[in-house]
Amino acid sequence: MQKMMEKRALELLADGTVSRVLGWSAGEFPYDMTPAVFETAEELQDGFVYNDFCGANLSKYLIKESRKEGKILVFLKPCDTYSFNQLLAEHRIIRDNIYVIGIECYGKADVEKLKAMGLEGITGIYMKDGEYTVETVYGSQTVKAYEAMAERCLACKSKKHVVYDELIGEDGEVVTDCNRFDMVEQLEAMTPEQRFAFWRGELSRCIRCNACRNVCPACSCEQCVFDNPNSGVAQKAAVNSFEENMFHIIRAFHVAGRCTDCGECSRVCPQNIPLHLLNRKFIKDMNAFYGEYQAGEDPDKKPPLGTYTLGDREA
Amino acid sequence: MKKLSLAKLNDLFAAIAQREALYLPVDNGTGKAEYTKWQEGTVYSTALNTGRSAKDFFFPQTENLMEFKMEGKRIDVIDTREECEDFVIFGVRACDAASFDILDRVYLTDPVDTYYKNRRQHGTVVTMACGRPAETCFCGTFGIDAADPKGDVTCWTVEDGYVLRANTEKGEALLAAVDGLLTDTDDKAVQAAQEKTRAILAKLPLAALSTEGVGQGLTKELFDRPEWASLSEACLGCGTCTFVCPTCQCYDIRDFDTGHGIQRFRCWDSCMYSDFTKMAHGNPRVSQLERFRQRFMHKLVYFPDNNDGLFGCVGCGRCLARCPISMNIVKVMKTLAKGGNK
């Protein structure tokens, strides 16, 4: 896969279709790739990497990158294409300056899962026949790929690319039985007291690093209200613990109807807070109240919270 | 040196907790260990390190400094500080223990931060030598020995128990208080454990990382390096690296209107944020490149400049594991050293 992507990127750079390539650059370890822009063939050949640990959604970088001179090539996994479409619908990215290559995806790996199996001191990870052979300074171990799969990928909602200029690999289908609302249903079945305790427990770990907000493709305000000293609610850390909880709930409200459920918020949380569950609750409710809707699926489709019909619940 | 048998670890915790509050790493249910107050039944986690660093004990994320109450034209300034009670932190790793030296340089030099000093004076640090370092570890780069950590007491896990050594008066007092549980021992078992750990340390991927190319007096050489652009380009501008870092020490002071008065508090700040050190004209560092550069120049050049060459990083590896885009101080050091370090 990496070879094919690199080859195509080199061709498009060489024939002048694009002047830059947005992808992932190699890290210190087999799993710590950083999103990067490559401008020359040498840079690509030197540092371009694509593997099962390239989980980062590159769509949001296009807000900045598509405003620069020349066209940029971006590699998008199926779930990333929903974020791309949503940003397009919100006029946050300039489509004409972007060349999208959709890349097939069968789920990304989460190195935290490998570490939780006691695999510390990782020096190499090799993928073969649905298994990872993980080499560490303490010995090597082989694990099934699905055992190391990121939580969000286990409930993948779609393997279909909703936007692309060309594809590498196969395009998939929307996954109708992804069970992504299972945990939401469990929370709904709780008593209010139990649910309150659950969220207080989870959100109490927040260190207010803002990683969830900053990585979120739906959080693209020029200046966030929580960073604006004139807003009256700007805060770098809570004076009382309830504020942190409110920050996340307010943020979930703010992205409701626009969140594509890409799962980046939970992926980046350094405190392992399952933030995506807040968003999924909103998605589930909107589906129930206003009919099935998937943000980012079709940029021309009217969003349920942005339209009014006589059939609405509150009409 | 003193020996504690394997079966008596819980008795040791109970004995310490009877005298003063005891905090130790405990699994928090999300696969991570965090410092938790010991009570009967608490299980000590042998995880390599805690998610949050041990700096929280001396430099908490938020802290009330004072309160103001207003009545008519009268303003009362209320000192809300309370004398801290004695406490023990057990299981601190060598990296975090070394971070206290760095924080001390900032907070215990004139003008002394009395809030910090109060907690430092009342805290006793028991370190735990590492037995299973991870690939993200590089404390050795900064001259820290994971097999022989500092602290008031150093503890080693050996085959049939634990060996403890007091390093300070505070440490001696702590061991004397639990002497009934301990027996005298020599340092043979410790040496064997250290040898084992050092052999692993030498095999770690970052074992050869050196500070060549960074450090004292290099502001001019490093400040305008073109690589800052590519290093910082994917940075999200979040505060994860700063907040999990055991040595990041910057804070902001704000007022909170409680409705009954004003609470003046301080909280951790991050140089990655758009409103860091914001002044009348705005943030002096207008781009993420400048903010990103500030964080690493501070740790790798400015701090050593002002502190006899001491680096502002202890190689705990938390930022390596937690940065959402996997950019970190190791990648910065290697890029700045340009080939000389790989």
The C-alpha atoms of residue B131 and residue B95 are separated, in whole angstroms, by: 14
**CB A209 to CB B240 under 8 A?**
yes
In chain B, residues with a C-beta closer than 8 Å to the C-beta of A56 are 324-325
Tell me, what's the pLDDT at B281? 87
The residue of A20, A198, A207 whose CB has the most chain B CBs within 10 angstroms, and thus the best one to mutate to test that interface, is A207
B4-26 mean pLDDT: 97
Tell me the per-residue pLDDT of A179-209, one tens digit each, with 9 for 90 and over. Answer: 999 999 999 999 999 999 999 999 989 999 9
DSSP state string for B230-253: HHHTT----SHHHHH-SS---EEE
The residue of B238, B320, B334 whose CB has the most chain A CBs within 10 angstroms, and thus the best one to mutate to test that interface, is B238
Burial of B297 (0-12, 13-18, 19+ CB in 10 A): buried
How far is C-alpha B301 from the geometric centre of its chain's CA atoms? 19
In chain B, residues with a C-beta closer than 8 Å to the C-beta of A214 are 236-238, 324
CB-nearest to A270 from B133, B200, B322 is B322
Tell me, what's the pLDDT at B340? 40
Amino acid at A121: G
The C-alpha atoms of residue A52 and residue A146 are separated, in whole angstroms, by: 11
Q: Are B312 and B247 in contact (CB under 8 A)?
A: yes
Q: Do you find a cis peptide bond into B60, omega within 30 degrees of 0?
A: no
The C-alpha atoms of residue B212 and residue B225 are separated, in whole angstroms, by: 16
* A211 touching chain B per CB within 8 A: yes
B255-276 mean pLDDT: 90
A125-131 mean pLDDT: 93
CB-nearest to B233 from A33, A36, A235 is A36
The C-alpha atoms of residue A137 and residue B204 are separated, in whole angstroms, by: 7
**CB B326 to CB A33 under 8 A?**
yes
Tell me, what's the pLDDT at B118? 95
Tell me the per-residue pLDDT of B174-194, one tens digit each, with 9 for 90 and over. Answer: 999 999 999 999 999 999 999
* B268 touching chain A per CB within 8 A: yes
* B133 touching chain A per CB within 8 A: yes
Which of the pair, A16 or A315, is modelled with greater confidence? A16
In chain A, residues with a C-beta closer than 8 Å to the C-beta of B236 are 211, 214-215, 268
Distance from CA of A32 to the nearest CA of B (A): 5
Tell me, what's the pLDDT at A229? 78
Tell me, what's the pLDDT at B222? 96
Which of the pair, B260 or B342, is modelled with greater confidence? B260
The percentage of residues in chain B with a pLDDT greater than 70, rounded to a whole number, is 99
pLDDT of B341 over the 50 cut = no
Tell me, what's the pLDDT at A240? 67
Q: Are B318 and A14 in contact (CB under 8 A)?
A: no
Tell me, what's the pLDDT at A300? 85
B242-269 mean pLDDT: 92
pLDDT of B328 over the 50 cut = yes
pLDDT of B317 over the 90 cut = yes
Q: To the nearest whole number, what is the mean pLDDT of chain A? A: 93
In chain A, residues with a C-beta closer than 8 Å to the C-beta of B206 are 28
To which residue do tokens 């409705």 refer? B259
**CB B243 to CB A209 under 8 A?**
yes
Chain A with chain B: Cβ pairs closer than 8 A = 127
R_g over Cα of chain B: 22
CB-nearest to B267 from A112, A236, A268 is A236
B241-257 mean pLDDT: 94
Q: Provide the chain A residues 128-157 that lie in CB contact (below 8 A) with chain B.
A: 136-138
Tell me, what's the pLDDT at A46? 93
**CB A123 to CB B205 under 8 A?**
yes
Tell me the per-residue pLDDT of A30-80, one tens digit each, with 9 for 90 and over. Answer: 999 999 999 999 999 999 999 999 999 999 999 999 999 999 999 999 999
Strand partners for B77: B68
**CB A112 to CB B31 under 8 A?**
yes
CB-nearest to A211 from B206, B240, B326 is B240
Tell me, what's the pLDDT at A232? 72
B192-209 mean pLDDT: 97
A283-300 mean pLDDT: 92
Tell me the per-residue pLDDT of A148-178, one tens digit each, with 9 for 90 and over. Answer: 999 999 999 999 999 999 999 999 999 999 9
Q: Categorise residue A100: left if φ over 0, alpha if ψ from -120 to 50, beta otherwise.
A: beta
Tell me the per-residue pLDDT of A213-271, one tens digit each, with 9 for 90 and over. Answer: 999 999 999 889 888 877 777 777 766 667 777 889 999 999 999 999 999 999 999 99
Distance from CA of A289 to the nearest CA of B (A): 33
* A307 touching chain B per CB within 8 A: no
The contacts of residue B15 (CB under 8 Å, 6+ apart) are: B177, B178, B180, B181
**CB B31 to CB A238 under 8 A?**
no
Question: What is the value of ipTM here, to two decimals?
Answer: 0.94
Q: To the nearest whole number, what is the mean pLDDT of chain B? A: 95
pLDDT of A128 over the 70 cut = yes
Report the 10 Å Cβ neighbour count for B287.
11
Whose CA is closest to B250, among A237, A247, A230, A239? A237
The C-alpha atoms of residue B82 and residue B103 are separated, in whole angstroms, by: 21
Tell me the per-residue pLDDT of B49-103, one tens digit each, with 9 for 90 and over. Answer: 999 999 999 999 999 999 999 888 999 999 988 888 999 999 999 999 999 999 9
CB-nearest to B256 from A123, A210, A239 is A239
Strand partners for A98: A72
The C-alpha atoms of residue A97 and residue A95 are separated, in whole angstroms, by: 5
* B67 touching chain A per CB within 8 A: no
The percentage of residues in chain B with a pLDDT greater than 90, rounded to a whole number, is 89
* A241 touching chain B per CB within 8 A: no
